Every structure is written in structure tokens, then in C-alpha cells.
Structure 1
Amino acid sequence: MKKKKILALATCALMAAGSLGSCGGGDKKGGGEGHMYGAALASNPQSLDPQFANDPSSATVIKNMYSGLMMKDKNGSIVCCNASDYDVSSDGCVYTFNLREDNFWFFDENDDDIIDEEECFPVTADDYVFAFRRLLDPKMHSPFSRYFMCLKNSKRIAEGSYRADSLGVEALDSYTIQFTLDYPCAEFLGLLTSPAAFPCNEEFFNSTKGRYGLDDRSVMSNGPFYVRQWFYDPYGSNNILYMRRNDKNLHEGYEVLPTFVSFSVLDSEAEVKQAFKDDETECFSTMKVGGYNPKKYNITGQKAMTLGMIFNPEDRLYSNAALRKAVALAVDREALDEELDSDLKAAYGIIPPAVDIAGRSYRELASDKQFDVYDPQQAAELVEQAKAELKVSSIDSVKIIVDSGTVDSRYLHILSQSWQDSLGIYIGIEDLTSKEFRQRIESGDYSIALYPVKGDFNSGLAVLDKFTEVGCLKNAAGGVDSSEAVMKCSTVNELVNGYASAEREILQQFGFVPLFYKTSYLVAKDDNEDILYDPFTGSVDYRIAKNYS
């Protein structure tokens, strides 16, 4: 079997080389299309099942393999994709979508890279119905089901008291699908752009006999590319995932410019960076961009992560509410912001600037300055109160643990000095590897940690959800859960106000103290344009990518 796979790999490489020669790669005078993108994944995809997978490698392949009713364009606006149009009822509870009739499933049954008529068939409303029933089925254990609790009967289905076929998702005919919600939800269209809302064909799913999404013969594409070959040997090399353009799904308004995307499946982000240096991949995503000259590379970045202090609830000192609040009130973010480089921005709120609503940054719609609590005088008074409550004459020094793979901790020294000057408290910094950081958090071996918060997709709901799902953040939020209230916001204005209210409620617990908004980057060779990076899912989208080499 392995010999057959490696032979197929050599065949693919020859085919790709031949295609590149005929396409010519394009130049600035052309459109930049027809390229084979050399790419790399930092790990083997866990699954190519959109209703289940949530690791960055899986997300990248899924993004290039499937498409849904709606999508976000490169400007962040929500637009129709496989839906030709849609209608919303006057009460905001019923969404009716008319499907395009030129979106097709393709499965290359005979492995000849030719799209034969018998190998493709239309994506219908039933495929979306089946996908959503899977998504909400409690036996599925989808990590995304909680985001769709606005759908009629979804809670009862998740609890196991209702059957999946009672879900408020119905095929009115082959090309018309209707969603019925329990209440109006301004986030619903945005949710439909996420991979969890991609279609799934029931007949093909059943034919995989429990292996759906786990190998190259148990996946079927309805998007820009299809998986031609997926080979991974954890003890070997030459691991690849090779995709070709799905020419059946080219139509007006939905271009697919590259002809191939060839992924090397590697074992770490460090190996991906090395592959980039060795010219084996044309882009990579990273949390740190030092050493890459923006004059030589196309570097794009979005502030999609919030870094904030969390406190161990079992800590002898920082379990004290007055002490936590004192540390929070002593942070002068305005002064801090003047010292930061472009990688970081002082954070007053929880939801980072990259989260958008209706194509605009949420932080533009709701300034986080409304959460500014800087008050050094009250902070000093609270320290004295904490000493009395703790029955101590001074506050012993502690260290903030920091994941050095995520952020450069040097700016924390500014805060450390200010706490010492204004409060008489010494809080040092301990840099750890990502693995060490996770282990210390899980074991509870810390007093304070600089903890990263990022949503599973581009939504304030996904960010806030971390404070109900992640143990240390749940403690930090003091049990506050605003998810349902936010979901019930029926207009954009209500949604903006709902998010701000939810942020305020969490921040008032003083268990999470936001300090920085952190940039995530995509670094690409300078002859590339429009490679789209989603810093929330970690996916890299090559659909409209152009190369002028």
C-alpha cells in the first residue's frame, strides 16, 4: 500500500510540473492564475469532517474543499455563496434560502482526475438538512453545536429528548431550504459562514462506514478543490495532501484561480517555517513575525487574540478579590500603548479588533475605552484592604507565567515596574514553552498567568464562549454566562450592545484582566496576492490566490 502511495505521489508531481509548464505561472501583466501552490501543514489533519474538526490543519483543507450557503468575502462582508438569494420573515425567525443549481459534489471514483458526469451530482437542500441534523445530534459530540442553539428544538435535541428530525431545518424542495429559529438572532447569517454549516451528503456519509473525513476515499468535495491524495505515515517522510481544482464548481462570481494546492504534511510550526526558508512553501502563519522584512515579503496581520491575566483561585494571595482588583485598577493602558510596537495593542476589553460585525470591526462599533478602570488611588487602598483580609503586612512576590511561543513578554516588565512603584507589589515574569505553559495551567501550578483568548471562528460569541467552556476562564468569569442573551439579540445594534454588556459583566469580576490585543500573521512570498488567512480557525484559503512568479 505504501509503495502504491509513493508511486502516486511521483505521478502527481509529474502532472503538476506539466501543468505548470503549460500554464506559464503568469506575470503582472496576466491574472496570476493557474499556479500550483506549494503549501505546508504543521500537523496531519485530524479529520476533514466540517461538523467535527477544529484544528488549524484540518481547517485549512476543509476551507479549500467545501463551500456553504454564505461566505465572508475578503473584506469581511457576508455574501451569498451556494445560496442564490434568501429571505427573512418579518419576525426574524424564519430564513428561506434558494440554492444555486450549479454547485456540485464531486468524488473521483476512478482516480483519473477527470470530472465524469457520473462522478458528480448537485448539492441539494437535503444535504444541508442532513449536515445540521448531524451537527445537533448529541451522539455526534460536535464542538460547534452550542453555537446553533437558536435553531428550533435544538436544545431538546441536544438533551436527547427530541429526535434530530424535529430540528427547525427543512428542505422545501431540492433547491429551497428553510431554517426556523426559536428567537431572532442577528448572528445567524454569520454562523452560516462557518465550516460547521457546510453541507454533508447522507448517502456518501453512510457509504464511508464510520470513516467520513478520515482518508482520501472518505471525503467528497463541493468547493473549490478536491483531495486527490492524502498520505500520512507518522514514522515516515514524504507525507502529503494534494488537492486539484474542482472545475465543476466554477461559475460567475465564484472564481477558483490556482490549479493545484500541494501540502507537505509536517510535524510542527518550526518545520513549516523551515520549509518556507527552503522555498518549499509559499506562505505560513505565525504569531511572531520578527526577522521577515516587509519589503521582501507580503505580510498581513489581524489582532484576533486577547491576552489577559488570570489568577489561580487556589492561590494563597491572589484568591483575594480586593488584591486582584487592585492589580487591575493599577494598569495604565494609555501609557502602555505608547510603548508597544505594531504586534500588540493595549486591551481594555475582551473581544479583539479582528472580530467583525456586518463587515466592520466590532471594536470600531463599541470602543473598548468604555471599560477603562484605571484608578491608582483606589488600587492602593485595595492593597491595604487585601493585606487586612489576608492578615499579612506585605504582599509576597509572585511571577506571571507567559507562553513565550505566543508573545514577547518584554512589555510586561513595564507593568511590573508600575505595580512595584504604585502598589509596592512585585510581580515578575516567567517565560515558558507552549507545552510547559499548558502543563502549568492544567496542573494549577501558577499564581497569575497571561492567558490567550481567541474564538473558534470570527464571532464575538465564540470569544465569549471560552469563558463558559475553558476551566480557568470559567473561574475567571465567576460563572457569568451571557451566551443566550447575546444569541437573542435581533439587530446589529442590539448585538453590539449585547456584546459590550457581556464583556462588562465578565470584567467586573476582575478574574480576567485584559492587557494586550495580539496580532496573528500570514507571511507570503512577494509574488503572491490574495492568499486569505483566518486567524481564528487558522485556515489558509487559496481560492482566489494569485501568483506572478
Structure 2
Amino acid sequence: MKHPFRLTAAFLTVLLLLALTGCGSGSNSFTWFVDTIPANLDPQVASTASDVIACENLYSGLVRKDPDGEIEPALCERWERSADGRTYTFYLKDGLTYTAAKGTAAEYAITAEDFVFAFRRMFRADTNSPYAVEFSALENSAEVLAGQMPESALGVSASGPLTLVFRLNSADENFLSKLTLPGAMPCDEEFFNSTRGTYGLTAKTTLSSGPFYLYNWTSSGLFLRREPSGTLIDSLRLVQNTNNADQSAVELVNGEKCSAALDDTGSTTSLSSISYSDTTWALLFNCSTLFSSTELRQSLAGVAREAAVVPSTGLFAAADGLIPDGLNVDGMNYRSTVGNVSPAAVDVRALYLSARQGMANSDFNKVTLMIPAGSGLTEAAETINGAWQKELSLFFSIEEVDEETFQKRLSEGDYTIALAPISAESDSVYSMLAQFTTAGGNLTGYANALYATQLEASTHATGAARCRLLGECERQLLSDCVAVPLFSQQKRLLVASGIKGLIFDPFGPVLDLTYTTKE
């Protein structure tokens, strides 16, 4: 077991005084509204958006991404990669220590053994770490996770206090990028054991290895600090928007209630912004109804794609696929890797006539197009419905229901056709596609053995191979017209004037203030 780095009493006193000097209100603060106050700062298990964002600023790992997206050393000085891409050797900086709450210097040194312990925790079944799948390329990782091999067999080891070695079963071109995830942050084994199951759950049982330290943690919010340095942000507040819920993102930022806010209204503003999309609006056909016919779905989908007009209100754009742009798989941009998955044009009339064989007009009497009220897509739905009437002589009604009812009926399969939002809430292409399987809730009652097999196979692949399998699933889903992507709902991050160097990725989620300045 590693022995903690012991500071002399005099030196500890000096460091404590220096730390407390910077504990007053920082001159350059940043406020971010979260849905829930961070509850778990254990980096190996942090999964909610607020917990992850807190961990990104509280901890540093071997490497970190700079504002340009380039990988640079963080706690390491340098690294080496073997010619076959299966071995990575990192050389840590000397003299690194953790920081306790209020900026107090901790007695624990950061060494290679802390990373070994962190990764072994990740692959303990009882840890239930969401990051284990990201590092499945590590040697013997599957066997260790299943309890078939001891933790010591995992492909991570320390060949010295400052030398860390990773061994992979196969090359992973995005391994360095994955090392920026919270799960790859160091964890001191002696300190972890001393917390007796409360690691990362209280201020006293949390140690920082990153740019910020934990200053205060209450039911009101999580407050991080670092020593003031020029124009760098030195205070990060993660709080809930309890008093200004009726204000728009523009009003919140301009009124200095927060430093940045998410917006989907498209309101005119002079604030700088970062645009993205995490939601695709798609027609869903309930395959448990008369739309079990693939030809019928394909004919209606063909008409809908031709008729769909991007709404003029709100931030909408034509969808390129079901999966929004910007999502990554193993650090690779999914859409760029997979390419176009849109189905080829079809003879909608011929497909429709073929599908109608043996069907009566009365079969369509109860078909409705369900949409959530207030979505801004009523006109688009009416246009599509009108095209079905014109091209196929099908007369459906549009049913607008409140959001709660819409979600309930969608989950229960109580609809025939729905124009629904499919969101990437967990930054996972797999999770979006899994919604069309029994295990994932099956939004549409879709049953396709090949689809299920390929989706399952993707969980055992990495890199380009995993992208390819997921891409085949998306292509199959769109070809069978179970889901017909029409519009991507654009969103944007509005940022207060004078703030620069903010690293933001809605899909991580990432809100990293390491390099952020405020002028």
C-alpha cells in the first residue's frame, strides 16, 4: 500500500494560510444552473449531469482537453505509445498532492498507484461504474469485471511511483480522449478506505486533484474555488434556478443571474453562443397496429419526407438521421464515421397499393397523428397530414395532447402515429437506438432479430467497428420506417459577455472551466 506524503507541521501551516487567503469571494465567478444539486463526487461512479460537471472541475487525470479540443498533459509530464497501439506508458509529475475542502493541503501524494486503484475500482462489479464500458479494451477487463480473474490481472499497473502502464487487448484510437472522463481520475486507496463507504459523498470525504477545490457543499449548491490568478475564473457555483424560473435564458444571462444558459427559443440576442442539437423529431409508427406492414410505413414515410417543411418558429433544421450531429462513439464523431444512413427514394404509390391488399378503409378509422401540445410543430403536422390526404387519400386527425399525457401514451404504446422527440439524454448512440428494442422500452413495438443482434454486438466492439454496427442499426431502423427523422431541434449555449475559453460539450456533458477567463 502506498504511504501518504507527509508534510512537516510548519510547511503545512504555511500552505494552510495560503489556501485560506484565497477562500474569500472570488473576483471572477461563474454560475451554472443545474437541475439537481450534485450528490455524488465519486468520479468512478458519477453519472448525472451535475455530478459529472462537478467532477470535471474538481479532478484532473493524466490528460485534459484544451479549448481547441487537443489532448495535453495534466497530471502527467509525458506519455509514450507502443508501435502497435496496445501499450501506453505515462510519466507523472513529481510532488503532486490532493487538496481537501476549503483549499486545505492534504497529506496524500498523487502517484501511479492511485490510478491503478481507480481503474481496479471501475472494474469491480459492486462499483457498478458507468465508465467500465468505455475502457473495455483494457487487457482482461471483461474477465475481471465478471469475477473470473483477480483485479491484479487488469491491464493497468505501476512500474514505479510515477510510472503508469496501460495494456490493451486491441488498439483503441480514442484511448487518450477517454482518459479525460471522470472515471479515469485518480483515487487514493488509503483515503478511500478511511471514508468507510462515504467516499465523494461529503466534503470531508472528498479530495481534489484538479484545478478547483471543494469550498462548500450544501442543499443550496456546490461551490468550488481556486487561487485567484489574473482573469481566470476562480469561483464556480452549481446551483438551482429557484427564484427566476420564469425568465428566459437571455434574461438570465443579461441579468447576471447566471454566466451561461441553455436556450432553444431562437430569441434575438447579442450574446455569444455555441449551437448544437440533442433531439430529433421523428414520425413513429406503432408496429403493434395496422402499421405492422413495412410497405405501409414506407409509403407514408416517403410522402412525409417530401412534404415536411422546417418550422419557421423555434430552432429547427432538417434532420440528416435519427442520431443528432455531435454525438461521439469511443471518442469518434458518429455521424462523420457512419455517413449518410437515409433510405433511398421509393415509389410510394406502388408500395401503398401493395400494402392495401386485403385491408379495408375502416381499418384506418382510428388512426391519428399524435403530437405534444406546445411543441411548435402543429403546422408541420398539418402539412404532412394534408400530403397523406392528397397523395394516398388517407384522412387522419391530428391529436394534440399535453406533455405528460403524450409521454405516458408513448411509453404505453397507446397511439398509432406520433411526431415525437427522440433525445440523446445520456450521450449514447446505443441508448437512443435501444429505445426500439424490448430491453429499451420499445417505443414502437418493432421486432427485428437482425437489428437486436447487431445492437447487442455493438456493446462488445470498440472504435470504428462499434460505429459501423450502430450505423447499420440506424440504417435498418430508417429503412423499415419505424422512425422517420424529420427535424433536428437546435439548441444553443448563451454565454455572458467577456467570458472566453469555456470548454462545453452537451453530450459529455462537459462544462470545463480550467482555461476559462472573465474580463
TM-score range, shorter-chain basis? Answer: 0.7 to 0.9
Q: Which amino acid aligns with 2:223?
A: Y
User: Once the 2 structures are TM-superposed, how far is the Cα of residue 130 of structure 1 from its aligned partner?
Assistant: 2.0
User: Once the 2 structures are TM-superposed, how far is the Cα of residue 339 of structure 1 from its aligned partner?
Assistant: 5.8
What residue in structure 2 maps to residue 130 of structure 1? Answer: 117
Q: Which amino acid aligns with 1:87?
A: E
CA distance in 1, matches of 2:258, 2:69: 26
Give the alignment partner of residue 332 of structure 1, picking from 285, 299, 305.
305
Give the alignment partner of residue 282 of structure 1, picking from 259, 266, 271.
259
What residue in structure 2 maps to residue 105 of structure 1? Answer: 98
Report if aligned partners of 1:337, 1:345 keep a CA contact under 8 Å in 2: no
Structural mapping, 1:423-438, within 5 Å? 423-426=392-395, 430=399, 435-438=404-407
1:131-171 CA-partner distances (Å, limit 9, x unpaired) = 22222222122233333322222222333333333322222
User: Once the 2 structures are TM-superposed, how far is the Cα of residue 357 of structure 1 from its aligned partner?
Assistant: 8.2
1:93-148 CA-partner distances (Å, limit 9, x unpaired) = 3333333346542113xx4x4x44xx254422222222222222221222333333
Report if aligned partners of 1:298, 1:528 keep a CA contact under 8 Å in 2: no
User: Once the 2 structures are TM-superposed, how far is the Cα of residue 480 of structure 1 from its aligned partner?
Assistant: 4.2
Give the alignment partner of residue 277 of structure 2, picking from 303, 306, 314.
303
User: Once the 2 structures are TM-superposed, how far is the Cα of residue 452 of structure 1 from its aligned partner?
Assistant: 1.5
What residue in structure 2 maps to residue 243 of structure 1? Answer: 224
5+ residue gaps in structure 2?
1-19
Give the alignment partner of residue 442 of structure 2, picking from 458, 464, 472.
472
What residue in structure 2 maps to residue 353 of structure 1? Answer: 325
User: Once the 2 structures are TM-superposed, how far is the Cα of residue 322 of structure 1 from its aligned partner?
Assistant: 2.6
1:273-300 CA-partner distances (Å, limit 9, x unpaired) = 57557532122124x1343x332x2222
1:386-437 CA-partner distances (Å, limit 9, x unpaired) = 3336555553454454556887565444433333333334565555555444
Structural mapping, 1:145-156, within 5 Å? 145-156=132-143
1:328-386 CA-partner distances (Å, limit 9, x unpaired) = 333436x7476667833322323322135899855455542x524332x2x33333333
1:545 aligns with 2:516: yes
CA distance in 2, matches of 1:520, 1:345: 11
1:264 aligns with 2:239: yes
1:166 aligns with 2:153: yes
What residue in structure 1 maps to residue 422 of structure 2? Answer: 452
What residue in structure 2 maps to residue 30 of structure 1? Answer: none
What residue in structure 2 maps to residue 3 of structure 1? Answer: none
Give the alignment partner of residue 439 of structure 1, picking from 408, 425, 428.
408
What residue in structure 2 maps to residue 65 of structure 1? Answer: 58
User: Once the 2 structures are TM-superposed, how far is the Cα of residue 243 of structure 1 from its aligned partner?
Assistant: 0.9
What residue in structure 2 maps to residue 481 of structure 1? Answer: 454
What residue in structure 2 maps to residue 520 of structure 1? Answer: 491
What residue in structure 2 maps to residue 24 of structure 1? Answer: none
CA distance in 2, matches of 1:42, 1:407: 24
CA distance in 2, matches of 1:467, 1:222: 41
Report if aligned partners of 1:326, 1:382 keep a CA contact under 8 Å in 2: yes
Q: Which amino acid aligns with 2:505?
A: D
5+ residue gaps in structure 1?
1-11, 21-34, 233-238
Structure 1 SS opposite 2:357: helix
CA distance in 2, matches of 1:358, 1:341: 35
Residues 90 and 381 from structure 1, CA distance in 2 versus in 1: closer, same or farther, beyond 3 angstroms?
A: same
Residues 125 and 348 from structure 1, CA distance in 2 versus in 1: closer, same or farther, beyond 3 angstroms?
A: same
What residue in structure 2 maps to residue 180 of structure 1? Answer: 167
CA distance in 2, matches of 1:434, 1:197: 38
Structure 1 SS opposite 2:291: coil
What residue in structure 1 maps to residue 291 of structure 2? Answer: 318
CA distance in 2, matches of 1:404, 1:205: 49
What residue in structure 2 maps to residue 536 of structure 1? Answer: 507
Structure 2 SS opposite 1:371: coil
CA distance in 2, matches of 1:477, 1:539: 35
Report if aligned partners of 1:486, 1:499 keep a CA contact under 8 Å in 2: no
Residues 72 and 308 from structure 1, CA distance in 2 versus in 1: closer, same or farther, beyond 3 angstroms?
A: farther
User: Once the 2 structures are TM-superposed, how far is the Cα of residue 228 of structure 1 from its aligned partner?
Assistant: 0.9
CA distance in 2, matches of 1:476, 1:69: 44
Report if aligned partners of 2:38, 2:51 keep a CA contact under 8 Å in 1: yes
User: Once the 2 structures are TM-superposed, how far is the Cα of residue 536 of structure 1 from its aligned partner?
Assistant: 1.0
Report if aligned partners of 2:112, 2:158 keep a CA contact under 8 Å in 1: yes
Report if aligned partners of 1:289, 1:521 keep a CA contact under 8 Å in 2: no
User: Once the 2 structures are TM-superposed, how far is the Cα of residue 206 of structure 1 from its aligned partner?
Assistant: 2.0
CA distance in 2, matches of 1:268, 1:411: 35
What residue in structure 2 maps to residue 213 of structure 1? Answer: 200
Residues 397 and 462 from structure 1, CA distance in 2 versus in 1: closer, same or farther, beyond 3 angstroms?
A: closer
What residue in structure 2 maps to residue 55 of structure 1? Answer: 48
What residue in structure 2 maps to residue 200 of structure 1? Answer: 187
1:39-82 CA-partner distances (Å, limit 9, x unpaired) = 33222224222222322222221222122233333333444433
* CA-atom RMSD in angstroms: 3.8
CA distance in 2, matches of 1:451, 1:218: 40
What residue in structure 2 maps to residue 31 of structure 1? Answer: none
TM-score by length of 2: 0.80
What residue in structure 1 maps to residue 37 of structure 2? Answer: 44
Give the alignment partner of residue 127 of structure 2, picking from 134, 140, 146.
140
Q: Which amino acid aligns with 2:392?
A: L
CA distance in 1, matches of 2:192, 2:375: 38
Residues 517 and 196 from structure 1, CA distance in 2 versus in 1: closer, same or farther, beyond 3 angstroms?
A: farther
Report if aligned partners of 2:411, 2:441 keep a CA contact under 8 Å in 1: no
User: Once the 2 structures are TM-superposed, how far is the Cα of residue 506 of structure 1 from its aligned partner?
Assistant: 4.0
**Deviation larger for 87-96 or 206-215:** 87-96
1:84 aligns with 2:70: no
TM-score by length of 1: 0.76
Give the alignment partner of residue 217 of structure 2, picking from 230, 240, 243.
230
CA distance in 2, matches of 1:243, 1:390: 65
CA distance in 1, matches of 2:476, 2:386: 29
